[in-house]
Structure 1
Amino acid sequence: MDSPANLIPSNPIKIAVLAMGGQGGGVLADWIVDMAEHAGWWAQTTSVPGVAQRTGATIYYLEIVPGEDIARAGHAPTLALMPTPGDVDLIVAAELMEAGRAMQRGLVTPDRSVLISSSHRSYAIDEKTAPGNGIADPNKVIEVARDAAKRFICFDLQATAEKAGSVISASLFGAIAGSKALPFTRDQFEATIRRAGVGVEASLRAFALGFDGAANAPARAPSIDLSRPESDVPMSAPNKRVQALLDRVHTGFPAQARPMLVAGLRRLIDYQDLAYAREYLDHMAAIRQLDVQYGGEKTDWALTCSAARYVAVAMSYDDVIRVADLKTRGARFERVGQEVGVKEGQQLYIVDFMHPRLEEICGTLPVKMGRWLENAPLGKFIERRLTRGKRLQSGKLLGFLSLYCMAGMRRWRRSTLRHRSEAASLAQWLDLIARIAPRDYALAVEVVECRRLVKGYSDTHARGGGKYRTLIQTAEAMLGRPDAAQALRDLRATALAEVQCAPLERQAAETLQSPAAARTA
């Protein structure tokens, strides 16, 4: 068992708590101060605001000194207001990347620091807005922390708190107690929670779970399992028409593609209706035929497996109707209520900030009317009125009904201008795949993967669509080159890594001017 943190006379124990807004970092710091003072210690806490990209991440810094040391010195101590790299005894992170931030700042040292972190993730703005998969690898943080800290304790303290019906500050407090990094007894920790007088029973339950988790934590923090379970492929469905679709999946497609095909069917039935899901399988049947003819068996049906995902995504584009549908679902209100901790008898009100562009408005109209409005003076007037956006209270009757009526337009979606545009884009994409597959199977697979760029709505959709068109045009121009598939794969990686279109356009131009392109020409 490791000894408690540094207790050299007149040398304070130094603690850093890293938390984001709403995680109770201030509450945790106040509990530590209260516990220390009731035990006769001198305690001081300050807070250092962090970066907005981490949702108001803040470092709470504490220094505590035994009362007898102060009595011996005969005067009050002079304590620091913020942590110094290499000079912190205990670091507590309310989220895994906050532990990474502590290590980046040099607060964690292998000869001194005990690092306690929750293993759960709250994604940063940069992770959420990345064109591709911007989620950082949590296991890299864990791997570094194992060597960076004298002792590293890491498990899901958010889930622990939720299991107890409390908040993460309580389970973190329990983990501190269970780690024995501070020279206070369990009774002293629990007495602190009782003195706070708010949510005592739930906090004590979370404290106990956190205590046990830290006390029994392995010497080497385990890695996080990032694998995803494969989607189930049912053999039967209660609805006869759904059963017919399932039968087509089982009899007409390879086993490797069936999990994604079933996921696509579920998505499109939820998005539109059974007829739309049947149309999806018609598209996939044509791609499956290409796969049979041009070498799919040797690649485990890569073309079909890839298209099973991206054809479904392309058909379930994000329009205003879809956004309204998702915002009015009961599951959304339940999820938000759980996140903010709505208690029995309380009312939940959600204010949605809506900023549709003229294109989104026109896209919900019938084709002729939408095209007229795009160029009419009325359209310019509407566009000016939309510049500041609108706050809609979807938790109140009028706001909810507005969204609900918009969601109800799903039955007319196929007649809208947006659907006409998306259907034309889908047809062009599928036609390109059919033309490329006979000549370059690998390039056809990469063309399918390019559809990953088209997602979201408004500005996000416009940027992704621009990148997608650049990739498709480049793929057509490279057809016949032996390195075409790899070149397109490299271009797609750039498109997913860069927010703006300019880097992709420069790389595409350089690729087409390369010696391989000249030899092909």
Structure 2
Amino acid sequence: MNKVQPIKIAILAMGGEGGGVLADWIVDLGEHNGYFAQTTSVPGVAQRTGATIYYVELLPGAHESAARRPVLALMPMPGDVDVVLCSELMEAGRAVQRGLVTPDRTALLTSTHRVYSIGEKAAMGDGRVDSNVLLEHATKASKRLVSFDMAQAAEQTGSVISAVLFGALCGTGVLPFDRAQFEATIERGGVGVKPSLKAFDRGCAEAMGTSLAKPAPVAKAVGTPKSPAVAALLQRVDRTVPPQARTIVVEGVRRLVDYQDARYASLYLDRIEVLMRQPGGRDATLLQETARHLALWMSYEDTIRVADLKTRDTRFDRVRQEVRAKSDQLVRINEFMHPRIEEICETLPAGLGRWLAQPHGIHRWVKRMTAQGRVVRTSSLPGFVLLWTLARWRRGRRTTLRYALENERIERWLHRIYALAGTHPALALEVARCQRLVKGYGDTHARGLKNYETLMAVLDRHQAALAPATLGELRDAALADEQGLRLHNTLQRLALV
């Protein structure tokens, strides 16, 4: 006689997404319908907000009079799991990597939205994992895959992902319980029943392929700007920029108007037009890439920009939405700020900033005062006014030391592109893309700038004799690690030191 095996379910969820509630629902569902049930959890703290693996086993026979309490396992084993539930796509990838998902047995249910990992966020280049690749591996690894944006479904129904996952679990039919038994489990919980049932219904319908959810609204076309100066800039783009680069240049104009003003965006267009007058400067790819990276560089992150972004009303609204604060709840926002002496000098007018940057008593005193950093509560009046005042200093940004330094760097970068556009367009394109190294602020900016200047020194020494692919390889090496070890090794291997 075959021994009855338990149903084995693994739940991979991040903190705050209701993974524990989902596990408890499954246990309650089993216990109220004649099953022995057990749940355990293994918390993790090395990822985003701390991912946890919950493990549930269900074994029939609890209502039998002679039944004895079975010994159930405490954690999932590779190749021995029937159902895997994941609250985020990377967690599905981790489940596949751990061997919890197998093509002959496992039903995999996952949300397709992404919460980027620390490794992805900290990468100096684009460290994001391709979601399509994750889904492809998940499809191949599982017996059945159910995947859709559960975060969006939870948001639209006013609930949490755990309720959507519970509905999807019902819709797949992989457990021996009917829909009424699932819904009764939520009702017994007694908390947030209506939104949870609504989210459950949405998840069940998605899993069964019968969802009637409305598609996301299509963004409306942006009308004529209210500002005559901005309207004039956009008309200038239409007159002067080729169609293939027009979309990128328009976005660059909008970004720089938001960053500074219309006059600053006009400088951006001046620089684009200078490129187009150069031999080879109207090459579509070179024009697009230079326009994109020029807009990014001209909107460099200084203390003024950081203060501006942190005091915008849209940011406060976004934080309240992310923490799901009710209208009558207070939300406190603490900003952990650690400006270096360099950031302070660069925020001052150029002459004063250069003086403070010199090694003298006042320089040492300011450096000592900023060594520990501080916490600024932007949800309080003093903290908000402090950053708001700093953000208003953008009116004087053109006088600052940072502005002078960045403008000089941008002009040198552009002149290299101008010089190579006609004679060596492939190399000019790689020079344009080297701007990727210069980003962020503080130590991140300093490291990236150092690597960028190393690459430009190599370019200046070898001029057009440097192969475009070699410069691209050096750039990728510079983006590979913060310490610059990969770049150093690559320079040595190519004998470019």
- Asked if Structure 1 and Structure 2 have the same fold, meaning a TM-score greater than 0.5 normalized by the shorter chain, the answer is yes
The answer to which of 401-410 and 34-43 deviates more is 34-43
The answer to which of 86-95 and 28-37 deviates more is 28-37
| Distance in 2 separating the partners of 1:195 and 1:402 | 50
Code of the aligned partner of 1:26: G
Contact 1:177 1:189 in 2 (8 A): yes
Aligned to 2:22: 28
TM-score by length of 1: 0.90
Aligned residues: 489
**Aligned-pair CA distance for 1:380:** 1.9
Matched residues, percent identical?
Answer: 50
Aligned to 1:498: 481
Could you say if the C-alpha distance between residues 489 and 359 of structure 1 is closer, same or farther in structure 2, counting changes exceeding 3 Å? Answer: same
**Aligned-pair CA distance for 1:9:** 5.2
| Distance in 2 separating the partners of 1:421 and 1:313 | 16
| Distance in 1 separating the partners of 2:385 and 2:315 | 16
User: Does 2:76 match 1:92?
Assistant: no
User: Does 2:457 match 1:469?
Assistant: no
User: Does 2:125 match 1:146?
Assistant: no
| Distance in 1 separating the partners of 2:308 and 2:228 | 26
| Distance in 2 separating the partners of 1:237 and 1:56 | 44
Could you say if the C-alpha distance between residues 123 and 47 of structure 1 is closer, same or farther in structure 2, counting changes exceeding 3 Å? Answer: same
Code of the aligned partner of 1:58: T
Contact 1:474 1:512 in 2 (8 A): no
Could you say if the C-alpha distance between residues 378 and 513 of structure 1 is closer, same or farther in structure 2, counting changes exceeding 3 Å? Answer: closer
Aligned to 1:277: 265
| Distance in 2 separating the partners of 1:111 and 1:217 | 26
Code of the aligned partner of 1:343: K
Aligned to 1:459: 443
Q: 2:151 aligns with which of 130, 147, 158?
A: 158
| Distance in 1 separating the partners of 2:158 and 2:275 | 49
| Distance in 1 separating the partners of 2:297 and 2:412 | 12
Q: For residues 12-91 of structure 1, what are the structure 2 equivalents within 5 Å?
A: 12-68=6-62, 71-72=65-66, 74-91=67-84
| Distance in 2 separating the partners of 1:513 and 1:35 | 66
Q: For residues 21-420 of structure 1, what are the structure 2 equivalents within 5 Å?
A: 21-68=15-62, 71-72=65-66, 74-216=67-209, 236-290=224-278, 293-294=279-280, 296=281, 300-375=283-358, 376-420=360-404
Is the partner of 2:427 in helix, strand or coil? helix
**Aligned-pair CA distance for 1:454:** 0.5
Contact 1:328 1:400 in 2 (8 A): yes
Could you say if the C-alpha distance between residues 369 and 52 of structure 1 is closer, same or farther in structure 2, counting changes exceeding 3 Å? Answer: same
Contact 2:458 2:496 in 1 (8 A): no
Contact 1:10 1:70 in 2 (8 A): no
Segments of 5+ residues of structure 1 without an aligned counterpart are 1-7, 219-228, 515-521
| Distance in 2 separating the partners of 1:173 and 1:316 | 45
Contact 1:231 1:263 in 2 (8 A): no
Aligned to 1:518: none
Could you say if the C-alpha distance between residues 154 and 217 of structure 1 is closer, same or farther in structure 2, counting changes exceeding 3 Å? Answer: farther
Aligned to 1:426: 410
| Distance in 1 separating the partners of 2:262 and 2:78 | 60
TM-score by length of 2: 0.94
C-alpha RMSD over aligned residues:
2.1
Deviations 1:53-112 (A, max 9, x none): 24301100111112348655x421111111111111110000011011111111111121
| Distance in 2 separating the partners of 1:384 and 1:40 | 68
Contact 1:86 1:106 in 2 (8 A): yes
Code of the aligned partner of 1:357: R
**Aligned-pair CA distance for 1:252:** 1.2
Is the partner of 2:147 in helix, strand or coil? strand
**Aligned-pair CA distance for 1:204:** 0.9
Contact 1:46 1:61 in 2 (8 A): yes
